[in-house]
């Protein structure tokens, strides 16, 4: 080869290499070109100089870094064209990730602590930024920092923590990612982040907006783009459909190439675009990588420098931002939504000139609009909330409501557009849970004198308070649809008071009823009436759910259309997917098996000590109000057995030591009750813990909602605590002893849950039968009559292995026991009560059954004054009466009817009258009659001496005892019979003298018989009330006036 040929070859190699090399500075580029020119001009005469210039140019090339993987990228694009849209294959995605890792390895310096001097375009841009910042004559302070950014391709510790915090944030956050590609782009990205935080967090107060920065090298991980490679059956659909928002700040360097940090990201999307384009000619329809189910919203800000262009004739920002243009076009072609017009900045005139106007006039308004649209979209796409809420004192309403909710869950389990939930009313927030579109069913009962149950009272109070804000033009409950299932007993004076209050309140607030209220009367067969009502419930509920979407989108319009169409208008575009009962339960042939109630809570064991709320070490101050949550712990001041020792009945009189200790308990009135928070038998608890076997009794735990089970309108962090009757943190032993009922008759839903815990098929089948309608007779004999405890059930079904967590979830709370106060504070400061100790034998098993509270109280000793020895204290609080009290008008007669322990409050009535007469002898009281019933005079005549003393001092006009087992002929004599014997006198007192009639005691039989006798007494007088309907109307009127009041129990 000649010298000339060598020079030609070297020169051609230089040209070829120059096309592929990445020039690190303008100086190096100019030096290389000069060498080539010299070689040609002086090719023959100056061959020696050319030979020297060639190696010099090669040395420049060696100093410059060739753009990595450029040839490989071209090969990848060729392969993609040949194979079609194959970029979604896992191997290619992995290759891209490996490529990114390679880039990182080649760009991280070995000594990170040394400051790396900027060279080439980065130095030029930094210099120009400093120049532009110093010469800017605008009034607005430039936001683009001139400080040297960190090395490209690395993520700072601050950025990593920021990204991690964002991904672990609350689900309601709107997250924005600002991705930077290039050294100058990193600082611009930070300034964009600051501007967005100032706009949304500070100015607009949008606390749910999060902004974070990250490198474009980590774009897949940051944006979770691996999700789009999954199939349609991805288990994590909610994450797969998440809306991503990214702002790309892309730097273009020499030869229209992206900065190294941005290269892998741009190639990734560009290959996706090319693969998509090549597949469009095929037979199958091509799905866009980004669509409504995998939404991607983006904006692009390009950074370039026209000084780096070899062709100096073009000097606009568009000409030096090819990388940004390529990325923008690729994302748009893939179905991503462009938030705003692409931003372009030219460092030759100052980056601020392009960045700041785009940020203020384009990006921020578009981003705010996108956030607002997302809120509307999120609200529109939320599942319809179908809520079952119960207010239950004895557990009947809770049982029915939970079974309905479980059945609805099975029925609608295929429909992903709705969410079925079940809560106690007090677990709901009256402000947030009743929103437009909500469909709710209240299953509630009344207690006492028409009071709301303990797990319902706060919600009803807050609901009424909210409804007071309603106006004709702004009904606060518009768009909410409701139904009320009321449970009650017509023997009670305030029959259906609470269910009717719910209906009235919801109607006043503008809610729409979707099914007429049921008033199920226990005296007529509670469950039979409920079953008949439920048979038609599902059709009405289907229609309500179909209307819910339109109710949510236009609440006031829905209210108007519903009132016009009587609530029957439905949205024909909405369908409800249901599952038949046959599909829901395939494991058994029994009819009417209740659906399995879902798990709602989980326990977490903690090192925290148990709460002192219900320990006797807590002293409630004298002025503090004693409540169920904060009871007063009292000692027993006195105890007396009121029945004969030979009797199989044991009635105990207890006096609680409250004198000068707590005013809220001490200041009581006759007719008030004392609530006692009982404890389960310690021996029973110990055996049960041994049977459960999965936890230690001394372990302390807390409770929280399972994800997705928190009440509507809240999340796990803000919701009320689950199972409010379990005061946590507490120990396992305390939970079993103080908070859950382990002795009462098991509900069918409880048996259904136990069946799922059985490993023996025969045992499971038996429990399913007992829980079904087909097993009604077996349930009566084995459950209702036998009244097995939880421990008895677990012994009967040994393969049943239920966890402590699940047991807490499905068990009924251990309820307070109410006892009428038998005294008045003027006679004794310490309140006293009387109760029968419950103890009986099961008919088949012959096991002894013990009442929880009465046996516990009976076992406790009387305070003997020794503080070290006596440490037994009973948690109590007072429950004031509303109607069952002495009338203020002493000129009106009173008739008191109370057999057995039902006579207890009347002792307090008479003590009060005696004290008033003693304090003011001139007072003239009307007549007072007491009808008392017991077995025999010498066996269970309660408070005999006290009542005889009242007769002697004329506090009591007439005492009429009824002894049911003293008649020689065996005839039973009860209080209603004695009442009939004094028919004429009673009629005169009631009709002419407007007497007050009080009945206390058994509601299952005695109260009904007394009511019938009163009707007979009134009608037998003829005249105005000879018709029984008229007499019934009179008693209802007396009830409304507070003249006919009953305190009864079943």
What is the phi/psi pair of residue 244, to 5°? -100, 140
Low-confidence residues of the chain: pLDDT under 70: 1-173, 224-243, 279-288, 291-294, 310-314, 448-449, 491, 493, 560-588, 608-618, 713-719, 864-871, 1050
Structure tokens at 986: 């009673």
Residue 991 contacts residue 1021 (beta carbons within 8 Å): yes
Tell me the torsion sign for CA atoms 912, 915, 920, 926: positive
| Gyration radius from the chain CA atoms | 42
Residue 580 DSSP one-character state: -
- Give all strands (DSSP E) within 888-995, no chain letters: 894-897, 928-934, 958-963
Neighbouring residues of 362: CB distance < 8 A, sequence distance ≥ 6:
299, 340, 341, 343
CB-based contact 140:355 (threshold 8 Å): no
- Three-state DSSP at 152 gives coil
CA contacts within 13 A on the Cβ side of 487? 26
pLDDT for the residue numbered 655: 95
Q: Residue 386: which residues within 8 A CB-CB, separation 6 or more?
A: 408, 412, 418, 419, 420, 421, 439, 440, 541, 545
Give the Cα separation of 7 and 53 in Å (integer). 10
Beta bridge partners of residue 960, listed in sequence order:
931
CA distances 529 to 177, 519, 525, 701, Å, are 58, 9, 7, 41
**CB atoms near residue 630 (< 10 Å):** 14
Q: Find out whether 546 and 553 touch, Cβ atoms under 8 Å.
A: no
Instruction: Answer whether 928's CB lies under 8 Å from 955's CB.
Output: yes
Under 8 Å CB-to-CB from 202, ≥6 apart: which residues? none
Residue 417: predicted pLDDT: 84
Phi, psi of 187 (to 5 degrees): -70, -40
Q: Tokens 């980590």 map to which residue?
A: 218
How far is CA 546 from each of CA 533, 550, 551, 556, 796, rounded to the nearest angstrom?
20, 8, 10, 17, 46
Burial 725-737 (b: 16+ CB within 10 A, else e): bbbbbbbbbbbbb
- 784: which residues sit within 8 A by CB, 6+ positions away? 745
980-983, long-range: CB < 8 A, 24+ apart:
980/1013, 980/1016, 980/1017, 982/929, 983/1016, 983/1017, 983/1020
pLDDT at 315: 74
Instruction: Give SS3 for 727.
Output: coil
Question: What is the pLDDT at residue 493?
Answer: 66
Kindly compute the dihedral angle of the four CA atoms of residues 1019, 1020, 1021, 1022, in this order, to the nearest 10 degrees. Answer: 70
How is residue 389 written in tokens? Answer: 């809420």
Cα–Cα separations (whole angstroms), residue 788 to 532, 656, 762: 29, 32, 19
What would the DSSP string read from start to end of 736-756? IIIIB-SSSPPPHHHHHHHHH
Given this model, what pLDDT does residue 925 score? 94
Distance CA 627, CA 426 (A): 16
**Burial 498-534, CB ≥16 within 10 A → b, else e:** bbbbbbebbeebbbbbbbebbbbbbeeebbebbeebb
Instruction: Label the pairing between strands 1044-1049 and 996-1002.
Output: parallel
Strand partners, 836: 651
The torsion region of residue 84 among left (phi > 0), alpha (psi -120 to 50) and beta comes to left
Asked whether the beta carbons of 557 and 394 are under 8 A apart, the reply is: no
Are 323 and 257 spatial neighbours (Cβ–Cβ below 8 Å)?
A: yes
Helix (H) or strand (E) holding 582: helix 581-584
């Amino acid at each position: 080869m000649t010298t000339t040929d060598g020079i030609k070859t070297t020169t051609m190699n230089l040209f070829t290499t120059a096309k592929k090399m990445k020039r690190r500075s303008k100086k190096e580029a100019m030096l290389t070109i000069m060498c080539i020119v010299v070689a040609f001009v002086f090719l023959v005469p100056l061959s020696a100089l050319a030979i020297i210039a060639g190696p010099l140019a090669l040395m420049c090339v060696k100093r410059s870094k060739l753009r990595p993987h450029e040839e490989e990228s071209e090969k990848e694009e060729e392969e993609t064209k040949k194979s079609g849209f194959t970029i979604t294959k896992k191997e290619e995605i992995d290759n891209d990730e490996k490529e990114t890792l390679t880039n990182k390895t080649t760009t991280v310096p070995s000594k990170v602590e040394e400051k790396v001097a900027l060279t080439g375009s980065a130095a030029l841009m930094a210099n120009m930024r400093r120049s532009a910042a110093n010469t800017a004559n605008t009034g607005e302070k430039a936001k683009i920092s001139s400080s040297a950014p960190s090395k490209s391709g690395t993520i700072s510790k601050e950025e990593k923590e920021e990204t991690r915090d964002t991904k672990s944030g609350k689900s309601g956050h709107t997250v924005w990612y600002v991705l930077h590609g290039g050294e100058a782009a990193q600082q611009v990205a930070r300034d964009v982040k600051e501007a967005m935080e100032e706009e949304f967090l500070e100015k607009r107060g949008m606390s749910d907006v999060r902004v974070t920065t990250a490198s474009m090298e980590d774009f897949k991980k940051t944006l979770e783009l691996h999700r789009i490679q999954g199939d349609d059956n991805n288990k994590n659909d909610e994450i797969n459909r998440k809306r991503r928002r990214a702002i790309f700040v892309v730097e273009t360097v020499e030869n229209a190439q992206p900065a190294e940090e941005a290269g892998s990201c741009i190639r990734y999307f560009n290959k996706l675009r090319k693969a998509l384009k090549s597949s469009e000619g095929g037979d199958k329809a091509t799905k866009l990588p980004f669509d409504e189910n995998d939404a991607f919203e983006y904006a692009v800000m390009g950074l370039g420098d026209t000084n780096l262009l070899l062709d100096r004739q073009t000097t606009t920002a568009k000409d030096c931002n090819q990388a940004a243009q390529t990325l923008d076009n690729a994302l748009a072609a893939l179905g991503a939504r462009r938030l705003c017009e692409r931003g372009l900045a030219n460092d030759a005139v100052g980056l601020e000139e392009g960045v700041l106007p785009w940020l203020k006039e384009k990006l921020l308004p578009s981003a705010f609009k996108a956030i607002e649209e997302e809120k509307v979209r999120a609200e529109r796409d939320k599942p319809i909330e179908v809520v079952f809420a119960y207010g239950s004192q004895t557990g009947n309403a809770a049982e029915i409501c939970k079974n309905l909710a479980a059945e609805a869950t099975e029925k609608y389990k295929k429909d992903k557009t709705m969410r079925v939930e079940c809560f106690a009313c007090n677990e709901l927030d009256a402000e947030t849970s009743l929103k437009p579109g909500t469909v709710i069913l209240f299953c509630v009962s009344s207690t006492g004198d028409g009071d709301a149950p303990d797990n319902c009272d706060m919600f009803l109070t807050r609901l009424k308070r909210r409804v007071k804000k309603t106006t004709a033009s702004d009904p606060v409950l518009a768009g909410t649809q409701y139904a009320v299932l009321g449970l009650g007993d017509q023997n009670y004076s305030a029959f259906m008071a609470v269910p009717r209050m719910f209906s009235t309140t919801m109607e006043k607030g503008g809610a729409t009823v979707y099914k007429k209220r049921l008033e199920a009367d226990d005296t007529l067969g509670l469950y039979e009436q409920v079953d008949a009502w439920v048979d038609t419930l599902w059709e009405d509920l289907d229609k309500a759910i179909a209307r819910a979407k339109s109710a949510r989108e236009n609440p006031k319009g829905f209210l108007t259309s519903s009132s016009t169409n009587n609530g029957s208008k439905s949205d024909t575009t909405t369908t409800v997917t249901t599952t038949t009962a046959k599909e829901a339960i395939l494991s058994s042939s029994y009819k009417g098996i209740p659906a399995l109630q879902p798990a709602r809570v989980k326990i977490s064991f903690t090192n925290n000590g148990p709460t002192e709320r219900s320990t006797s070490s807590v002293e409630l101050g004298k002025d503090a109000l004693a409540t169920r949550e904060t009871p007063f712990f009292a000692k027993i001041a006195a105890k007396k057995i009121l029945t004969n020792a030979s009797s199989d009945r044991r009635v105990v009189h207890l006096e609680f030591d409250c004198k000068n200790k707590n005013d809220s308990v001490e200041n009581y009135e006759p007719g008030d009750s004392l609530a006692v928070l009982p404890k389960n038998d310690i021996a029973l608890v110990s055996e049960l813990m041994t049977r459960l076997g999965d936890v230690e009794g001394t372990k302390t735990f807390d409770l929280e909602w399972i994800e997705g089970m928190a009440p509507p309108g809240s999340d796990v962090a803000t919701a009320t605590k689950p199972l409010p009757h379990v005061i946590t943190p507490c120990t396992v032993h305390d939970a079993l002893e103080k908070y859950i009922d382990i002795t009462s008759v098991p509900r069918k839903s409880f048996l259904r849950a136990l069946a799922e815990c059985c490993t023996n098929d025969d045992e499971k089948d038996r429990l399913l039968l007992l829980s079904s309608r087909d097993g009604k007779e077996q349930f009566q004999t084995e459950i209702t009559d036998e009244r097995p405890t939880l421990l008895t059930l677990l012994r009967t079904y040994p393969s049943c292995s239920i966890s402590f967590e699940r047991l807490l979830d499905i068990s009924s709370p251990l309820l307070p026991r109410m006892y009428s106060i038998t005294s008045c504070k003027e006679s004794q400061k310490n309140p006293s009560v009387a109760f029968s100790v419950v103890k009986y034998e099961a008919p088949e098993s012959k096991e002894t059954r013990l009442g929880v509270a009465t046996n516990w109280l009976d076992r406790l000793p009387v305070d003997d004054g020794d503080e070290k020895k006596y440490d037994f204290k009973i948690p109590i609080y007072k429950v004031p009466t509303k109607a069952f009290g002495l009338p203020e008008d002493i000129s009106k007669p009173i008739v008191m009817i109370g057999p057995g322990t039902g006579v207890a409050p009347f002792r307090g009535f008479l003590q009060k009258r005696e004290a008033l007469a003693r304090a003011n002898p001139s007072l003239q009281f009307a007549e007072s009659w007491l009808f008392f019933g017991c077995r025999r005079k010498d066996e269970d005549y309660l408070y005999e001496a006290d009542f005889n003393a009242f007769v002697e001092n004329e506090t009591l006009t007439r005492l009429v005892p009824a002894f049911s087992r003293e008649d020689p002929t065996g005839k039973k004599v009860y209080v209603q019979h004695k009442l009939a014997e004094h028919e004429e006198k009673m009629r005169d007192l009631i009709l002419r003298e407007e007497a007050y009639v009080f009945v206390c005691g058994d509601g299952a039989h005695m109260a009904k018989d007394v009511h019938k006798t009163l009707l007979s007494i009134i009608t037998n007088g003829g005249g105005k009330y000879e018709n029984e309907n008229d007499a019934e109307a009179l008693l209802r009127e007396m009830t409304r006036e507070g003249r006919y009041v009953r305190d009864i129990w079943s």
